[in-house]
Amino acid sequence: MGLKEMFKVELESPDDIVVALAGNPNTGKSTIFNSLTGLNQHTGNWPGKTVSNAQGKFTHRNNRYILVDLPGTYSLLANSVEEQVARDFICFGNPHVTVVVTDATCLERNLNLALQIMEITDKVVVCVNLMDEAKRKKINIDLGKLSNLLGVPVVGTSARNGKGLEELKDVIRKVACGEINPKPIQISYDDILERAIQEVEAYIQDLIGNQMNSKWIALRLIDGDQALIDSMNDYLNLNLSEDFLLKDTLEKARKELEAENIQIEDLRDRIVSSIVKTAESISSKVVSLDNKLHNQLDRKIDNILTSRLFGIPIMIALLGFVFWLTIEGANIPSAMLAKGLFWIEGQLSFFFTWLGTPVWVHDIIVLGMYRTLAWVVSVMLPPMAIFFPLFTLLEDLGYLPRVAFNLDHYFKKACTHGKQALTMCMGFGCNAAGVIACRIIDSPRERLIATITNNFVPCNGRFPTLIALASIFIAGAAGAFSSIAATLSVLAAIILGIIITLFNSKLLSKTILRGLPSSFTLELPPYRKPQIGKVIVRSIFDRTLFVLGRAIAIAAPAGLVIWSMANITMGDTSILTHCARFLDPFARLLGLDGYIITAFILGLPANEIVIPILIMSYMSKGSILELESLAEMKQLFLDNGWTWLTAVCMMLFSLNHWPCATTLWTIRKETQSWKWTWVSFFVPTITGTVLCFIVAQGVRLLGLI
């Protein structure tokens, strides 16, 4: 696919104005995007890239604007897929305006990206966001002087409060319509490098004309940026690799640099050094501090939250608190939702009776498809509606990067990427969402490891199974503290899941995905007061409903299969029972029984339905159901030969078995490979099988049961 097709923006009218939104991570870029576009937005992937592509629309003074939210990056030197996508869109996507969002509390660092973008295009607006945070920390910024020094319009905003956004729209309009003609500052490199640039630029200018910034292209070609050369070939319909005059010019320029003891491998450091010095110079002239200790409180908090002594225990305690809130908070709304959905089931039954439809049609649609769907929604929605906002709240507060910091050492030991900690955290809510979050990892090898191992942390679909078994067989004797005991049991299972994640990540990195861990810049953003309302809305629409929609699409047809297996008989026995008996000898080796393994297999579409299927099988019913209390469930399990070992092995197998169909579907879409989808299926399944076998046989050999 060519660059023109990749970066083509769908316009409703030729008069539509395309605006690129660029910036470092944690500058409030997404807040500006959401504030400007509202609900008029959609998210996907760049064609051929596993990088998020968010586009939205807004109207201002009778003009329609298409806002393209570029990946958050620290530079455009194309060290990652995100940087390459952002750079190529600015170069080849031909946006009418590029808005560079910067953080007012750390302007100097953010100016590095702004200066790089200004080398590519002159249609730039610099948005200094988080002005309210800067004011709170007594940081003063002279926006007028900054605009004069940069040579482009500068707008101060506090996007969370909506301040400055109207002015930003006005400035975008003026730049797009030519009322303002920015003249960006040109970065001055040392004399030796400038001479080399001029030699190459003279040839490049004749070749490309005014289509691109010839000085910037010359610099990148001297640097040997092959990815950019490939992109230019595609965009300009040229083959620069076969341009012998260009080759000679580049070779001459590089030899002149080497004669001055400037090696090509050191060239990028010199380029970055010039950009950083320019940013420092500009920042020192426009930023003043009334309080030079403005970050002291953040540092004091970080000294505790990221310390070797307290960092991990606080992280575990906070995680436990989130799970406790999820467990306690989900019970009542889950029951209410189930009651409402099953009331609808009664109305559907009445409707089918009134129509006079055959019984088998009613049973397939209502007791099979609808009832499965109802259980998935009633069990999934309340925990997700609690967990995802809490997770997003920690993200908005600035704590999640601290989690990645605390776990980075352990993931490096496992030869994987520190950002895997963040994808793992997302997996607690939903493994499908965790797999999508793996896009933040630049290295394809490390992204695959994170994708394959994400299933080792339990999603909210497995929490009901873990919580129910922990409550019945482990916390049953804790009385009033049963919820706390259940939380501690689930927390122990989660810690085990993290250990298994690290072990399997190490195993994969030493076998089929060999390689060294890549380095990355981990920014610890300032702590910020989260916006509760926006957090709830964003988490529900972007995460909860998105994941629930995928689960529903799979659960309904699964209900048809489950009902059929439970109701179609061979002789006097249902197909479901035949399958359970066939699997029973193997299941006994794992401390389980045939019905449990069958329930897990039939629960492939959604982990939430494993327990209802198991209860249905034990009670020889033809449709999914659930008992009224945990005491009834415990008695049913005991009557079918369960012991504490059965419960422990089922918890272990629930923690370590194949991903649900929604997650497998997501893995296939993200990796574009059936091979890695099957690997993602077998790695946790083999792990769970081996683990359960060792525990079951070990307990029996020791005579503990």
Domain borders along the chain are 3-177, 191-289, 311-514+532-701
pLDDT band at 294 (very low <50, low <70, confident <90, very high): low
pLDDT for residue 5: 60
In sequence order, which ranges of 356-367 are alpha helices (DSSP H)? 359-362
In sequence order, which ranges of 101-225 are alpha helices (DSSP H)? 107-120, 131-136, 143-150, 165-177, 191-208, 214-223
Q: Could you give the percent of the chain with pLDDT greater than 90?
A: 27
* 3-177 CATH, one of 3.40.50.300, 3.90.650.10, 3.20.20.70, 2.60.40.60: 3.40.50.300
pLDDT band at 475 (very low <50, low <70, confident <90, very high): low
Contacts of 214 (CB under 8 A, 6+ apart): 201, 204, 205, 208
203 pLDDT above the threshold of 70: yes
4 pLDDT above the threshold of 70: no
422 pLDDT above the threshold of 70: yes
| Average of per-residue pLDDT across 94-108 | 91
The residue type of 530 is: P
42 pLDDT above the threshold of 60: no
pLDDT band at 687 (very low <50, low <70, confident <90, very high): very high
Selected residue with higher pLDDT from 544 and 688: 688
479 pLDDT above the threshold of 60: no
pLDDT band at 526 (very low <50, low <70, confident <90, very high): confident
| Average of per-residue pLDDT across 669-698 | 94
pLDDT for residue 629: 59
Tokens of 620: 């020889």
How far CA 522 is from CA of 6, 436, 530, in Å, comes to 29, 20, 21
pLDDT for residue 2: 58
Tokens of 121: 């295009």
How many whole angstroms separate alpha carbon 559 and alpha carbon 541? Answer: 26
Tell me the three state secondary structure of residue 235. helix
| Cβ-contact 98, 184 below 8 angstroms | no
146 pLDDT above the threshold of 90: yes
pLDDT band at 142 (very low <50, low <70, confident <90, very high): very high
Q: Which of 621, 559, 599 is nearest to 373 (CA)?
A: 559
Tokens of 28: 């409030």
The residue type of 560 is: L
| Cβ-contact 394, 535 below 8 angstroms | no
Class for the domain spanning 191-289: mainly alpha
Average pLDDT, the chain: 82
pLDDT for residue 114: 93
| Average of per-residue pLDDT across 60-83 | 82
| Average of per-residue pLDDT across 553-571 | 78
Three state DSSP letters for 526-569:
CCCCCCHHHHHHHHHHHHHHHHHHHHHHHHHHHHHHHHHHHHCE
pLDDT for residue 674: 93
pLDDT for residue 345: 84
pLDDT digits (tens, 9 = 90+) for 491-505: 888 889 989 999 999
| Cβ-contact 113, 79 below 8 angstroms | no
Q: Which of 273-277, 390-394, 491-495, 544-548 has the lowest mean pLDDT?
A: 544-548
Whose tokens are 């080759």? That residue is: 247
Sheet (strand 17-23) strand order: 41-45, 52-60, 63-69, 17-23, 97-103, 124-129, 154-156
| Cβ-contact 613, 623 below 8 angstroms | no
How many whole angstroms separate alpha carbon 543 and alpha carbon 383? Answer: 12
Residue 65's beta-bridge partner residues? Answer: 17, 58
Q: What are phi and psi of 140, to 5 degrees?
A: -105, 135
Q: Which of 205-209, 398-402, 477-481, 641-645 has the lowest mean pLDDT?
A: 477-481
Q: Which of 539-553, 568-582, 662-676 has the lowest mean pLDDT?
A: 539-553
Confidence (pTM) = 0.66
Q: Which of 387-391, 451-455, 542-546, 661-665 has the lowest mean pLDDT?
A: 542-546
| Average of per-residue pLDDT across 178-185 | 92
pLDDT for residue 628: 57
pLDDT for residue 455: 92
Whose tokens are 């760049």? That residue is: 46
551 pLDDT above the threshold of 70: no
Q: Could you give the percent of the chain with pLDDT greater than 70?
A: 87
| Cβ-contact 656, 463 below 8 angstroms | no
How many whole angstroms separate alpha carbon 396 and alpha carbon 400? Answer: 9
| Average of per-residue pLDDT across 265-281 | 84
How many whole angstroms separate alpha carbon 609 and alpha carbon 600? Answer: 9
Residue 101's beta-bridge partner residues? Answer: 23, 127
50 pLDDT above the threshold of 70: no
Q: What are phi and psi of 496, to 5 degrees?
A: -60, -40
Selected residue with higher pLDDT from 71 and 456: 456
Whose tokens are 């085990």? That residue is: 496
Q: Which residues of 404-432 are buried (b: 16+ CB within 10 A; e: fewer)?
A: bbbbbebbeebbbbbbbbbbbbbbbbbbb
Q: Which of 30-39, 149-158, 589-598 has the lowest mean pLDDT?
A: 30-39
pLDDT for residue 452: 95
pLDDT band at 51 (very low <50, low <70, confident <90, very high): low
Q: Which long-range contacts (CB under 8 A, 24 or more apart) does 619-627 make?
A: 621/566, 622/363, 622/367, 622/563, 622/566, 622/567, 622/574, 623/363, 623/367, 623/368, 623/371, 623/563, 623/566, 624/367, 624/371, 624/372, 624/375, 624/559, 624/562, 626/375
Q: Which of 35-39, 135-139, 477-481, 680-684 has the lowest mean pLDDT?
A: 477-481
630 pLDDT above the threshold of 70: no
pLDDT band at 678 (very low <50, low <70, confident <90, very high): very high
Residue 288's beta-bridge partner residues? Answer: 140
How many whole angstroms separate alpha carbon 231 and alpha carbon 539? Answer: 36
pLDDT for residue 136: 83
Cα torsion 637, 639, 644, 650: sign: negative
